Amino acid sequence: MKNTAIEITNFSSRYGQQDVLQNISLTFSSKAITAIIGPSGCGKTTLLRSINRTAELEPGYSCTGNIHLFETSIFALDAYTVRRQAGMVFQTPVALPLNIRENILFAPRYYGLRRRALQDQLVESCLRKVGLWEEVKDRLQRPASHLSGGQKQRLAIARVLAVEPRVLLLDEPCSSLDPASTQQVEDTLRGLASELCVIIVTHNLAQARRIANEIVFILNGQLIEAGAAENIFSSPQQARTRDFVSGLFG
């Protein structure tokens, strides 16, 4: 049975006069990894940023239709609550100019986490979830800027996890990473998918094949096809999907 985390209904968005997403209806499963694929400029980032209501921060952005997050319309919640429930990780690994421990505690402190023992627990559990604990446990007070790119990206994931989101949105999180770091991020996402809805935009079809349970294919702001990854890759229903996944265009 499909366990729906996000339901998008007749959703369209535009920047000024330019239509970007056109009448998209789609669901994302909880406890699964969904990869959003499609050529550059087709609207993948806008879709992710619509889900956590950060697209609204862009001048000229407007949208129609609805998005439900665990059965509540995101427009019925305040935007901060939505962004906390659906945390986002970006293409370029960003470490806050703080030590490793404070990177994790930045948002939880803001939300009122004061007790030292609870802070320690949270830092350790978040770092363990991204496979960083053993690597950094002896240097939690060192600047996060000293970490490698792959470590910074896993730290960025841990920082999002620290506020206990139900959805993790990742926008091409491995595009600046080497293969070994990419594999560590992929292993991390597999682990997180046992408890979260993980949605990853990727330009890398091999990565989508490796980690995605479900695939969403977008072209020119339209949803072309969505479904189980094995079906999309082995027996797509649409010719445009077949051409895209076989590398005919990108």
Ligand X SMILES: Nc1ncnc2c1ncn2[C@@H]1O[C@H](COP(=O)(O)OP(=O)(O)O)[C@@H](O)[C@H]1O
User: Does 241 contact ligand X by CB under 6 A?
Assistant: no
The smaller minimum CB distance to ligand X, of residues 14 and 31, is found at 14
Give least dist CB 67 to ligand X, A: 15
Give least dist CB 198 to Mg ion, A: 17
The smaller minimum CB distance to ligand X, of residues 9 and 91, is found at 91
- Per-residue tokens: 34: 């969904």
Instruction: Return the residue of 44, 101, 154, 159 that touches ligand X, per CB under 6 A.
Output: 44
User: Does 93 contact ligand X by CB under 6 A?
Assistant: no
Q: Which of 6, 24, 28 is nearest to 213 (CA)?
A: 28
State the number of binding residues for ligand X (CB under 6 A): 11
The binder of 42, among ligand X, Mg ion, none, by C-beta within 5 to 8 A per type, is ligand X
User: Does 40 contact ligand X by CB under 6 A?
Assistant: yes
CB distance 35 to 229 below 8 Å: yes
Q: Which residue is nearest to Mg ion (CB)?
A: 45
Q: What is the CA 227 to chain-centroid distance, rounded?
A: 18
The smaller minimum CB distance to Mg ion, of residues 88 and 147, is found at 88
User: Does 87 contact ligand X by CB under 6 A?
Assistant: no
User: Does 42 contact ligand X by CB under 6 A?
Assistant: yes
Residue range at the interface with ligand X (CB under 6 A); choices 33-41, 136-144, 155-163, 177-185 = 33-41
Residue numbers at the binding site for Mg ion (CB under 5 A):
45
User: Does 45 contact ligand X by CB under 6 A?
Assistant: yes
User: Does 43 contact ligand X by CB under 6 A?
Assistant: yes
User: Does 53 contact ligand X by CB under 6 A?
Assistant: no
The smaller minimum CB distance to ligand X, of residues 46 and 181, is found at 46
- The site for ligand X (CB under 6 A) is made up of 15, 20, 38, 40-46, 58
